[in-house]
Structure 1
Amino acid sequence: MRRLATWAILAAALLLAVIASNFIYGWTAAGPLERETSVVIKPGSSITSAAQQLEKTGVVKSASAFVSRAKVFGASSTIKSGEFVIPAKASNSDILSILTSGKTVQRMVTIPEGMPSIMVYERIMANDRLSGNVSLPAEGSVLPDSYAFDKNEPRADVLQRMQDAMTKTMAELWPERSADTAVRTPLEALTLASIVEKETALKSELRIVAGVYSNRLRTGMRLQADPTIIYPITKGKPLGRRILRSEITDVNDYNTYAMAGLPKGPIANPSRAAIAAVLNPQKTSALYFVADGKGGHVFADTLQEHNANVAKWYALRRQRGEM
């Protein structure tokens, strides 16, 4: 009897050892995943619901086995929400480390400086990693920047972040405006900033271009900004051709060749730098500017000086075969 009892104890111990060994081996052994894949863990997910998602996508063989091992070997670990990349053959241990690291996939949507709202709308709607629909955002309501998003996140949520960023930016910059600014309201600031943004691609020129337009506004001189002619025609998209004489003289709420003052609203979504430039324009006596052929502009105080600069620009364009 004693021998039988001894053998029974040994057999039980051996069985427990095998079970324990298998339990430990299953924690570090290669998993079933054949190729790298991504999984999305929803906010508020428990280890159990996350494991069920892992089993559903073929990352682990058994959700319950993963949970049991995770509770033993990763008792103090807390899984994060978001999209995670799981490499092929990842072990249970590897997977838990990934889910608790917080290193989610960073998906970005970028809105360039001066992009009109119609193109912002098209860019958001064209992103197939987002879900749902959005309406066309108000012109000037989106702050150009790069925005991170999660896979299948609602488009409306991403757009709201863009608009909240613009609201926050204006709230920060408006109180810091200088006495030299020619704008009287935040809407006027956005409107003039959108024109300045469209007129120069150089950040170093933003404040002086803002200064030129501020001078024109103060004296009642027409802004005569080409982008304001194009906006009613294309909603800010590239025109793709030369502006027609009939379009220059067309009277509408945006064409600053046909009216004095600012357009009825922004013609694009201006950057923080352009808004800051309008609120703190460079002090200058210049009233005119034209391209210098090197990516920037040359500025002039008088019409005579400006006409001479324009003549040089036209000569350069003819030399390049552009006219």
Structure 2
Amino acid sequence: MKSKLTVVMYHYVRDLANSRYPGIKGLDLSLFLKQIEFFKENYTIVSVEQVTECIETKRNLPEKSLLLTFDDGYIDHYINVFPVLMENSISGLFSVSGKVLAESKPLNVNKIHYVLAEAGEHRKQELLSKVYKLLDYYRGTEFDYPSNEELYAKLAVANRFDDKDIIFIKRILQAELPERARDLITDDLFREYIPIPESTFSRELYMNFDQMKLMKKSGMHFAVHGYEHYWLEKLNDQEMQKDITMSLDVLEGIIDRERWTMVYPYGSYSREVLSYIADNGCNLGFTTAVRFADIQADAPLLLPRLDTNDFPPKSDNYLKIT
């Protein structure tokens, strides 16, 4: 089918063993290089502009089309990914949350990633115990939320890549608690496990605006990824609109406000989100639904993606996905 599109999602791409945080869940650079070779041999790698043109003109894509997407604006993407794409004449899609550019502060989602990386499997139960103690500490003072047992029963559901304990820690700190409680607990854990200033951590983790401008000038495409990296479907309309608008403002000069791309943080969206971004110039959107895209059948704002771990040399999962 020439309307079929394989979209691949990446996050951290680095020399894991020699990085400051070798426990972070990412793709080792050596495997990324092998994966690019696999894609070149088996697919036609296309750009966002090609996908958009085919959708709007109802033309066919090249046979076995594939698009590469990189989430969260990590420095990995500038130092490790960008040179590889340039060397192979590939245009990638990079999504960045506005806060990391406007405030030079790390996102809570990344603080959680690195706390989990530093705890590792061998200290996971210790980390879980600390989360329970902090939940108990803040419960009943400023905040009122269910018991630890109730929260665990609701949230601890394993997914394709994380066990139920990890999912519980992520969900409790990403979305379930009131925002201020999430911030307090995440900051407490971050200070204990990552004892360096947040400004230093942020500077090491993310691309800056000048690097993004160079990438854009060299043919890379940038997308909106919210401002705070919230679960957008969990915000009320005013909060959601403010978050997206702030991100658009920060990315002025990197994106075209009349025709821009959305990558939903956590894959989270709602009818209200779709309506708001469509009314404000968004013409393409990417979710985290695990399947192949069909540009003739899928809504342009709801294109699904597979994960880098679904393809060689990591696995052959892509052969099992329908």
TM-score, normalization by structure 2: 0.24
TM-score, normalization by structure 1: 0.23
